[in-house]
């Protein structure tokens, strides 16, 4: 995955828009066994097997594609200008954009602001649940969200709407 797609994926996750794992979970289990998550490998597998993918997963992938194009249009040039030397992963590009906020294009600043607001809302409303229910789970690759979803019955009323669609 190139740098622009990494930042887009990071921003989508922060915005809560990249939930392909929900609609595509059964397809991933059926079509992509043995493929390690991360780096866009599961998305590539689903795309390579698109003829066999469920309609719900196809719809979710199309939604993610639309968001990728929107965010890419807003921040792609900024990533290339300000974060070209940043190694993707662990939110590094998102941090780079935040550090260079004043120099970013207005559309990218808006996307970044939205991502940071969503992240702050998640931390505020779900932070206690994460500490209580997912202690010891390493962040990254959706592990915290998966943990919270697996403990759906135990979620606080403030966190539940952010985790359970």
Contact, 105 vs 77, CB < 8 A? yes
Contact, 5 vs 71, CB < 8 A? no
First to last CA, the chain: 28
Instruction: List the pLDDT tens digit at each of the 165 positions of the chain.
Output: 444 454 555 555 444 444 445 678 788 889 988 888 766 788 888 889 999 999 988 888 887 788 778 878 899 999 999 999 988 766 788 888 889 999 999 999 998 888 888 888 988 999 999 999 999 888 776 778 888 988 999 999 999 998 886
- Please give the tally of structural domains in the chain: 1
Domain housing 157: 3-163
The candidate with the shortest Cα–Cα distance to 104, out of 87, 82, 119, 126, is 82
CA distance linking residue 42 with residue 85, whole number of Å? 25
pTM for this one?
Answer: 0.64
């Amino acid at each position: 995955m190139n740098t622009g797609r990494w930042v887009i994926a990071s921003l989508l996750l922060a915005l809560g828009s990249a939930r392909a794992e929900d609609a595509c979970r059964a397809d991933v289990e059926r079509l992509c066994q043995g493929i390690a998550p991360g780096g866009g490998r599961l998305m590539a597998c689903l795309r390579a097997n698109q003829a066999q993918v469920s309609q719900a997963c196809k719809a979710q992938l199309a939604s993610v594609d639309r968001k990728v194009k929107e965010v890419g249009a807003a921040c792609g040039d900024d990533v290339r200008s300000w974060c070209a030397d940043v190694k993707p992963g662990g939110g590094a590009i998102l941090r780079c954009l935040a550090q260079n906020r004043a120099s970013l294009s207005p559309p990218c600043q808006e996307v970044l602001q939205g991502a940071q607001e969503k992240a702050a809302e998640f931390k505020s409303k779900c932070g206690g649940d994460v500490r209580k229910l997912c202690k010891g789970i390493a962040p990254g690759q959706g592990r915290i969200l998966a943990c919270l979803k697996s403990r759906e019955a135990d979620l606080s009323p403030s966190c539940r709407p952010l985790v359970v669609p």
